Amino acid sequence: MTYGIIGTGAIGGYYGAKLAHAGKDVHFLLHRDYDFVMNNGLQVNSCDGDFILEKVNAYNSTANMPKCDVVMVSLKSVNNHLLPTLLPPLLKTGTLVLLIQNGIGVEQDVEKMLPGIQLAAGLAFICSAKTDPGVVNHQCYGSINIGNYSCTDKELLATLLSDLAEAGVTAAEVEYYEARWRKAVWNMPFNGMTVALNTRTDLLLQNPSTRQLIYDQMHEVITAAHACGAPNLDYSFADKMIQMTDEMTPYSPSMKLDYDFHRPMEIHYLYTRPLEIARENGARMHKLEMLEAELRFLEASIF
């Protein structure tokens, strides 16, 4: 299979490099890092073992890339308006576009932009960052769940899962809608709270007041998920996420890094859309509505 990576950052760079390191045919779109990667390769510093791709199929335009069987999109969702231009050169009949992006509602909006496209959600459980050109720093975890949104080719999905497994990535197919809400249980509290309080995940949980607030926010997300059609998401999942984060390497989520580097934050799909969808279904996430307002204020202060 031929893979295309749109967004060679902390997430796309990691999964694409793992596939390429395992001998898969992977093609990377790069922007600022293009010259560096062409000259120096793509480095992955990982808790599972460091490696470097010395020869990278790197491009600075999708117009020069081959047609792909699977395109992994790990752009920040604030750049999704670029997809109607970026994706068509890579698409052929049956191409699967895997959106490894945060939030709720991304597949629905991409489908409106590109009717008939085959989509799946990639739910990455990983601590990874890219702060230097051509270098991905993988701190811990690394699994990915695949939620099928509109792909009719079951064999293609099975091959994708098999290729990821061969590359050393734990991957599983899951029910799409519930998986999106499961990811939101962690993302909505921790991404915004690390920005609003200028802190890290571990420090939020070490303080009894913010630990309780995180827990309450997780329960708001689970209640909203029930109202929106994901009844199997149990409240005990919040305890599991708290325990997982207690055991995690101290971490600044992607939104915190975006804020620190004065980049637009993914407020729309991480907060605005799920809050809207919850309200439409009779559920209010009051604490997270307040957090969204705080994030909007902070973003306005840097742009």
Do residues 278 and 272 make contact, with C-beta atoms less than 8 angstroms apart?
Answer: no
Boundary (domain end) residue, out of 174, 196, 217: 174
Out of 183, 240, 256, 287, the active site residue is 183
Boundary (domain end) residue, out of 112, 145, 174: 174
Domain count, the chain: 2
- Tally Cβ neighbours within 10 Å of residue 3: 23
Q: Supply the range of the domain harboring residue 102.
A: 2-174
CATH number of the structural domain spanning residue 189: 1.10.1040.10
What is the chain's alpha carbon radius of gyration, rounded to the nearest angstrom?
Answer: 19
User: Of 153, 150, 174, 170, which is closest to residue 162 (Cα–Cα)?
Assistant: 170
Residues 159 and 45 in one domain: yes
Residues 182 and 270 in one domain: yes
- Annotated catalytic, 76? no
Residues 168 and 183 in one domain: no
Residues 14 and 152 in one domain: yes
Residues 150 and 233 in one domain: no
pLDDT for 206 equals: 98
Residues 25 and 37 in one domain: yes
pLDDT for 146 equals: 98
User: Of 255, 225, 199, 6, which is closest to residue 104 (Cα–Cα)?
Assistant: 225
- Read off the amino acid at residue 18: K
Residues 16 and 163 in one domain: yes
| Regions of the chain where pLDDT drops below 70 | none
pLDDT for 131 equals: 79
Residues 59 and 30 in one domain: yes
Residues 126 and 83 in one domain: yes
User: Of 25, 115, 126, 37, which is closest to residue 71 (Cα–Cα)?
Assistant: 25
pLDDT for 102 equals: 94
* pTM of the complete model: 0.94
Boundary (domain end) residue, out of 145, 174, 203: 174
- Tally Cβ neighbours within 10 Å of residue 149: 21
Residues 139 and 9 in one domain: yes
How many Cα atoms within 13 Å fall on the side-chain side of residue 6? 32
Q: Encode pLDDT of 90-99 as tens digits.
A: 999 999 999 9
User: Of 28, 81, 71, 16, which is closest to residue 269 (Cα–Cα)?
Assistant: 81
pLDDT for 125 equals: 92
83-109 residues labelled b (16+ CB within 10 A) or e (exposed): beebbeebbeeebbbbbbbbbbbbbee
pLDDT for 67 equals: 98
Distance CA 165, CA 15 (A): 11
According to DSSP, the residues that pair with 136 across neighbouring strands are 44
Residues 13 and 152 in one domain: yes
Q: Encode pLDDT of 4-37 as tens digits.
A: 999 999 999 999 999 999 999 999 999 999 999 9
CATH number of the structural domain spanning residue 112: 3.40.50.720
Residues 238 and 150 in one domain: no
pLDDT for 199 equals: 97
H helix intervals, 69-207 = 83-86, 106-113, 154-166, 176-196, 201-206
